[in-house]
């Protein structure tokens, strides 16, 4: 397990990006529970921590793909015309196990 941050660094209802062991990681606090996934959108590299986080869904700031933060699953892909223009759509994010201990958040890669 790799330490990512303190629990207080990501308040409830927010998300934040971290770099851990050369990985770009998105850490989300949803209702007091932490979820971790890749921070880079698989479509064309949008940086998800600067996107939108609402109702358990993260929206990519570049073309608007949406991901379920509990699973990393793609729930809304880019529109069809963008798939054609950009050579394809997005896919699920890798998600990682999270543990909280003594006020710190740890992630297992």
Q: Which is nearer to ligand FES, 13 or 45 (CB)?
A: 45
Q: What residues make contact with ligand FES under the rule CB under 6 A?
A: 41, 43-46, 60, 62-65, 78, 90
For residue 74, give the nearest of 43, 44, 96, 98 by alpha carbon. 43
For residue 109, give the nearest of 49, 10, 25 by alpha carbon. 25
State the minimum distance, in angstroms, from the CB of residue 86 to ligand FES.
7
Q: Which is nearer to ligand FES, 5 or 62 (CB)?
A: 62
Q: Which is nearer to ligand FES, 6 or 86 (CB)?
A: 86
Distance, CA of 88 to CA of 78 (rounded, Å) = 9
């Amino acid at each position: 397990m790799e330490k990512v941050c303190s629990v207080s660094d990501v308040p409830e209802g927010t998300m934040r990006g971290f770099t851990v062991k050369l990985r770009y990681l998105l850490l989300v606090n949803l209702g007091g529970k932490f979820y971790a996934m890749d921070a880079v959108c698989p479509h064309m590299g949008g940086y998800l921590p600067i996107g939108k986080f609402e109702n358990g869904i993260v929206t990519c700031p570049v073309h608007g793909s949406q991901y379920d933060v509990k699973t990393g699953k793609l729930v809304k892909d880019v529109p069809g015309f963008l798939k054609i223009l950009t050579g394809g759509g997005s896919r699920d994010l890798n998600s990682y196990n999270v543990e909280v201990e003594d006020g710190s958040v740890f992630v297992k890669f």
